[in-house]
Amino acid sequence: MAKRLSKAEIRRRAIDIRTTDLGLTEYDRLCPYDLAREHGVDVHPLEGLVAVGCPEESVIFFASERPDVWSAALVPAGAGQFIVENTAHLPRRRRYNIAHEMAHVLLEHEFDRVMFSAEGRRGCANPTNKDQEWEAAELGAELLLPQAAAYKAAKEHRTDEDVADIFDVSLPVARWRMNGTGARIVAQRTAAKWAKFRRGQ
Ligand SMILES: [Zn+2]
């Protein structure tokens, strides 16, 4: 099996996807719906599945899958796939989960089932493969809030709430990125170094 991608490689891919597919810099807000459209992946609201010709059994199946838990699902369909979103959930949760499912698509992960994602888990509730799940969690998050943007926000003393608003992500995701990427620590160390330098002058 392929080796798990490094964080550096995932960051590189996120930058490439942002620039090439959407014309965005690392500091711009990304719309995961635009990303899905760009890759020909349809996003259907759960309640609209019947209208797009989805068999009623599938709709019942989705509705039975603890709708309080999942926000988006990636559904294999022929050679491609589509996404179903749970519109009962808040937009920021859905954005996160659509970015996560798109990360699976962009990384060309193979899966043999419907993948359900729920933000509390930072990914799918039923992963087929731990490494792939980790990669999709990292890429999905990196797409929404790149490390470079997290560093910049920390340097500018933005609160987690500000960061959540700027990038249109939930507060737990903003908090996770600001701490998980090391952005806050780097900013604090840099500030401390400067303070020491100035005291020494
Ligand atoms: Zn996943």
Q: Any idea which residue has 């810099």 for tokens?
A: 25
Cα distances (angstroms) measured from residue 171 to each of 1, 73, 103, 149, 179: 35, 22, 21, 16, 12
Q: How far is the CA of 159 from the centre of ligand 1 (A)?
A: 28
Q: How far is the CA of 76 from the centre of ligand 1 (A)?
A: 13
pLDDT for residue 1? 57
What is the C-alpha R_g of the chain?
18
Q: Which residues surround ligand 1, an ion (CB under 5 A)?
A: 123-124, 133, 136
Q: How far is the CA of 50 from the centre of ligand 1 (A)?
A: 25
Rounded to 5 degrees, φ, ψ at 85 are -115, 150
Q: How much is the average pLDDT of 181-198?
A: 89
CA-CA-CA-CA torsion for 37, 42, 45, 50, nearest 10 degrees?
Answer: 150
pLDDT for residue 119? 64
Instruction: Provide the token pair at 183.
Output: 């952005």
pLDDT in tens, 7-60: 999 999 999 999 999 999 999 999 999 999 999 999 998 888 777 777 777 777
Cβ-defined contacts of 132-136 (< 8 Å, 24+): 132/104, 132/107, 134/4, 135/4, 135/5, 135/10, 135/103, 135/107, 135/109, 136/100, 136/101, 136/103, 136/104, 136/107, 136/109
pLDDT in tens, 110-169: 887 888 887 667 788 778 788 999 999 999 999 999 999 999 999 999 999 999 999 999
Q: How far is the CA of 149 from the centre of ligand 1 (A)?
A: 23
pLDDT in tens, 55-78: 777 777 777 777 677 888 898 888
Q: How far is the CA of 81 from the centre of ligand 1 (A)?
A: 14
